[in-house]
A and B are shown apart, each in its own frame.
Chain A
Amino acid sequence: MQSPELNQNYFELFGLNPVFDIDCVALHAQQQRLQAVYHPDRHVDADDQKRRLSVQMASWVNQAYETLRDPVKRSRYLLEINGVSLPDDSATTSDAAFLMEQIDLREAVDACRHGDNGLERSQDIEARLEQRADQLAQDFVEHFSAQRHEAAIDSCRKMQFVQRIQQQLAELQFELEET
């Protein structure tokens, strides 16, 4: 029987091809269609067993959605379902030039706190980071499709670095806008 089972992967659950470039609008629409079936509010009168099942299913859909929505999590997950495990969260890239660049960027972010035009300077950095993230995503797609797994893992980690700085920058921009 062709019915979906719990051992489906997230892409299968959402009826998407297992690739990095996904249609985020379709992803969101599918999440809501799945929740319309699974969400506990649709099973208010059911017995305990059925309600438990519904909570589990709805949680599973939410977790799948959050994983696929985020580019870093999505790339890790793609590697994972292709049997490539990322050894450790804390492991870092060995690309020295990349690391130097990250340190520079971090310092540049911090520097926006002081002096004039902090917000404008932060917007320049934002554009740079966005460009960097796009490029790393492209690298990932190339390495992944060519099955260069080590290189794909490295791109994935770098994407995570960039994402963290983006989060820091967003936090800083919020503070700057407040003052």
Chain B
Amino acid sequence: MALLQISEPGESNAPHQHRLAVGIDLGTTNSLVATLRSGEAVCLPDEQGCSLLPSVVHFDGRQALVGYEAQVLLSSDPLNTIASVKRLMGRGRDDVKRLGEVMPHEFVSAEDSAALRIRTAGGDYSAVEISSEILKELARRAEQSLGSDLAGVVITVPAYFDDAQRQATRDAARLAGVNLFRLLNEPTAAAVAYGLDRDADGLIAVYDFGGGTFDISILRLNKGVFEVLATGGDSSLGGDDMDHALGEWIIEQAGFTDIDALLARRILSAARSAKEQLSSAGSTTIRIEAPQPWQTEIKREQFEALIEPLVKKTLSACRRAVRDAGVAKQEVAEVVMVGGSTRVPLVQTMVGDYFGREPMNKLDPDQVVALGAAIQADILAGNKPDNEMLLLDVLPLSLGIETMGGLSEKIIDRNSAIPVAKAQEFTTFKDGQSAMSIHVVQGERELVSDCRSLARFELRGFPPMVAGAARIRVTYQVDADGLLSVSAQETTSGVTADIVVKPSYGLTDTEIESMLRASMEHAREDIELRMLKEQQVEARRVIEAIDAALAQDGSVLLDENELSQIQLKRDELQAAVGSGSTEELKNLIKAVEDVSETYVARRMNASVQQALTGKQIDEVDV
């Protein structure tokens, strides 16, 4: 039910059937999809019984190949096969230049679009489109294995993802045609997977050491409410660095001098497999076959000496996060381990020593994020009306605005609880100025050039005044997914401008629309009919919701006149449900919503009043 539905925590909604919801971990190397089966979160395997889907996509003009089928083509057809697309999400040309060495692709940007595309034999594709192929594959797997349509999904993102990267992920979901309930931070998902919401209240540290990134988050649990107190980490520190450290040791030991790409690859792969061996064995043999055959024994202690500086770096980030959270590390009650690199024993011991307790590692560190996302998706789908779990997140990076001299002035500080809205006033610096350019940036650094540029827009057409007389109020609003919209108003004249921040490198809404339309045409669906059906469903939902609401408290919260106006619009909608066109239904639904706007606000307030005082609405003095 949509309109006017107030769900009290712990109070059950109108009874409804179980709705299918899944959690998706859209990873750099691998992706997973999980759901709840008889109350337990499980990853859904493919037909071969494999849960992991390699995040690799291949395009050759026919249908895109995703996963293992694409992965085998990585070496034979590298230009048309894309791996690690997550690194490109929300990124522009400059960012990609830095990645240029490791990505063999030709990047193109169309004239009418800011989004970068990868050129393949099957056409040019943006990171959003490539990710949407992975999402489609996982959604297909879920629908096949669960035997029904998905009501919605929760997709996880690194806590460190900035606005552009989150927006790109949301766009990919839209393009894949899945209903995105929520973007969820990976560490929060991990804590949920361990069922810590059912445990005693306390502080939780989530230590997420993956292949290429490190994240640490400090969470507080209080009566089913997860609150992210602080997040931190290093976006370029991961298990790959361990492989490199060991690789350098191999080069030194073997005395290799002339290292070409092939040898480098062999060294790294030997290092990786030695690292994995040493997680269970005390020593192992490193073998390089060709082009220069060489082998040696390595003990776990030797390996640990090599990687200790890396683990120390992660602990330094832990200390900072603990401090940002305003807590003492002794207060941390649980430490949750996530990511493949936490399989390394030295990581387990050093993290355990730092926090002074045994880390939690019972769940597969590769699956834990997807499992937690599945639990959250199930709750958001309304399948557990009694569950009081609520996730309160913080903003991972400060949001600022460019001021004179190329400096960034922070409007919303990092680690602020979201959703959040903040406004700040600025003024003109030239006489007669009638426009102002607004540059939105994200990051902690003082200089705008060191921060990430999210968007630029202009407020135009306010009356010219002497310098310093105009009052320009800039408002930043961040929603629960961490996505930003900005508005600006010159308050003396009332001139306004606003934008939903479309990152400078993102796709425009029109682009997404046209991609969506194209994909719908391919599906040979009768779009018109489908839209009409959707509107009819929506209309019935609105009527049902308003009837339920009016029956509950219509006579308490509305006077007679207000009540009859709402009734009138509701009846008009009811009359049109069977016969009206899509457009007519849309307008009539809007009319009902408009006329009941005040009512919605009053119901919300009344329900808060109730939450605060425990009083029933009908006991409140009218």
Interface residues of A (CB under 8 A from B): 1-5, 15, 28-30, 32-47, 49-50, 53-60, 62-63, 65-66, 170, 174, 177-178
Contacts of B480 in A (CB 8 A): 39-41, 55, 58
With most chain A CB atoms within 10 A of its CB, the pick from B418, B480, B597, B611 is B480
| Bound-state Cα–Cα, A116 to B612, Å | 54
Bin the interface of chain B by size: 35 or more
B622 within 8 A of A: yes
Q: What's the Cα separation between A34 and B420 when bound, in Å?
A: 14
One digit per residue, 1 when the CB lies within 8 angstroms of any chain A CB and 0 when it does not, for chain B 518-546 equals: 00000000000000000000000010000
Query: A29, A30, A45, A63 — which one has the most chain B CB atoms within 10 A of its CB?
Result: A45
In-complex Cβ contact of A59 among B381, B421, B602, B611 (8 A): B421
Which of A29, A37, A63 interacts with B422 by CB under 8 Å?
A: A63
Inter-chain CA distance A1–B622, complex, in Å, is 4
CA distance in complex: A77, B419 (Å): 21
CB within 8 Å of A: which B1-59 residues: 1-9
Contact A47 B182 (CB under 8 A): no
CA distance A143 to B592 in the complex (A): 52
A80, B227: Cα distance in complex, Å: 29
**When A and B form their complex, which 7 residue pairs have the shortest distance between CB atoms, in order from nearest?**
A59-B421, A36-B9, A40-B480, A62-B417, A59-B419, A47-B2, A3-B605
Residues of B within 8 A of A3 (CB): 602, 605-606, 609, 620
A-B contacts, 8 of them at CB < 8 A, read: A2-B620, A3-B606, A36-B9, A39-B390, A42-B9, A42-B390, A44-B152, A47-B2
CA gap between A94 and B382 in the complex, in Å: 59
B597 touches A49 (CB 8 A): yes
* Given contacts A32-B222, A33-B612, A174-B319, A55 and B477 within 8 Å (CB-CB): yes
Nearest chain B CB to A80's CB is how many angstroms away?
A: 15
Is B490's CB within 8 Å of the partner chain A? no
Q: B512 within 8 Å of A by Cβ?
A: no
Does B298 lie at the interface of the complex (its beta carbon under 8 Å from any beta carbon of A)?
no
State the CA gap A56–B609 with chains docked (Å).
17
Q: Which residues from chain B contact A41 at a C-beta distance below 8 Å?
A: 182, 380, 390-391, 480
Report the Cα distance A136→B416, complex, angstroms. 26
Which residues of the other chain, B, contact A63 by a CB distance below 8 angstroms? Answer: 420-422
- Per the bound structure, the CA–CA distance linking A66 and B326 in Å amounts to 14
Q: B593 at interface (Cβ–Cβ under 8 A)? A: yes
User: Nearest CB to that of A49 among chain B residues?
Assistant: B593
Assembled-state Cα–Cα distance A43/B390 (Å) = 12
Given contacts A5-B605, A32-B225, A59-B477, contact A46 B2 (CB under 8 A): yes
A44 touches B380 (CB 8 A): yes
